[in-house]
Amino acid sequence: MLKIEHVNITFNKNTVNERRALQDVSLTLESGDFVTVIGSNGAGKSTLLNVISGTYEADSGNVLLDGKDITYLKEHRRARKIGRLFQDPLKGTAPHMTIEENLGLAYSRGKKRGFSMGVKKSDEEFFREKLRELNLGLEDRLKTPMGLLSGGQRQAVTLLMATIVTPALLLLDEHTAALDPKTAEQVMRLTDEIVKEHKITTLMITHNIKNALEYGNKTLVMSQGKALMMLEGQERANMTVEKLMELYSSTAEDSFTDKMILD
């Protein structure tokens, strides 16, 4: 379970560039919740994920993961429990290391034994099986350097790395936005399968409103640093892109930006 309590963060305090990126944000994710996050540019979506991952420290408020207060826990210590994907497929993997070495690195995370350069035969079989499930033909390319893969393939492997040891929380920041539409859909479907299979508590930022309503079980709408609303249950089930736009403009002080993909 993830609990965010009254989190505030202001960048460049007392300068002309002062930005209240998060304003009294509170929200709760139950175990297994898959929450999609939408909002205009600069709404504070990435900042919210950064505060949860420990990249930024909140000015005030608390972050609790599985009952433990992690507000001041260092980022690298949270990383054992939190899987993360970004828009850029280059982030999160070592390009000169092979697929199996990258998976080995991810697999050793959170385990007592440290990472060793060699990959054990039994692990190799396990990785091959996991790669086969991606359906991208990568199971025969264990020795291929990550840097040689396409963006979509790399993002799929990064997703595997983030979830090969089931994380307490998965944070996805527009992880399909840099991919072509067909590949984006493929990676989105893979994400959905993996999240559902392991019941991973997930926060996924997307600019694709249709995806936001289609995937997951709740949708968080953010505007100007605030958590405007959490759609769930029947209200969400009945929500359409058009209705959501109307709801947004009648509630938020700004409007949806053109970066949003509406269909």
Ligand X SMILES: Nc1ncnc2c1ncn2[C@@H]1O[C@H](COP(=O)(O)OP(=O)(O)OP(=O)(O)O)[C@@H](O)[C@H]1O
41 binds, among ligand X, Mg ion, none (CB under 5 to 8 A by kind): ligand X
With respect to ligand X, which residue has the nearer C-beta, 55 or 135?
Answer: 55
Q: Give the amino acid at 70.
A: I
Q: Which of residues 20-49 bind ligand X (CB under 6 A)?
A: 21, 39, 41-47
d(C-alpha 32, C-alpha 217), whole Å: 9
Among 46, 163, 183, 223, binds Mg ion (CB under 5 A): 46
44 binds, among Mg ion, ligand X, none (CB under 5 to 8 A by kind): ligand X
Neighbours of 12 (CB within 10 A): 10
| Least distance from ligand X to the Cβ atom of residue 22, Å | 8
Take residue 206 and report the two structure tokens written for it.
Answer: 């997307």
99-108 vs 121-134: helix crossing angle, rounded to 10:
110
With respect to Mg ion, which residue has the nearer C-beta, 48 or 244?
Answer: 48
**What x-and-dash track marks residues 42-81 binding ligand X by CB under 6 A?**
xxxxxx----------------------------------
Q: How many residues bind ligand X (CB under 6 A)?
A: 12
Take residue 73 and report the two structure tokens written for it.
Answer: 């826990």
With respect to ligand X, which residue has the nearer C-beta, 194 or 212?
Answer: 212
Element containing residue 28 per DSSP (H, E): strand 19-29
With respect to ligand X, which residue has the nearer C-beta, 50 or 155?
Answer: 50
42 binds, among Mg ion, ligand X, none (CB under 5 to 8 A by kind): ligand X
| Least distance from Mg ion to the Cβ atom of residue 6, Å | 22
d(C-alpha 165, C-alpha 81), whole Å: 9
Longest dimension (CA), the chain: 58
d(C-alpha 92, C-alpha 157), whole Å: 10
Among 1, 3, 11, 241, binds ligand X (CB under 6 A): 11
Among 3, 19, 196, 210, binds ligand X (CB under 6 A): 19
Q: What is the spatial order of strands in the sheet that 60-65 belongs to?
A: 19-29, 2-11, 60-65, 68-69
Contact assessment for residue 41 and residue 257, using Cβ atoms and an 8 Å cutoff: yes
102 binds, among ligand X, Mg ion, none (CB under 5 to 8 A by kind): none
Lookup result for tokens 């968080």: 220
Please give the residue ranges that form the binding site for Mg ion (CB under 5 A): 46
Interface ranges with ligand X (CB under 6 A): 11-12, 19, 21, 39, 41-47
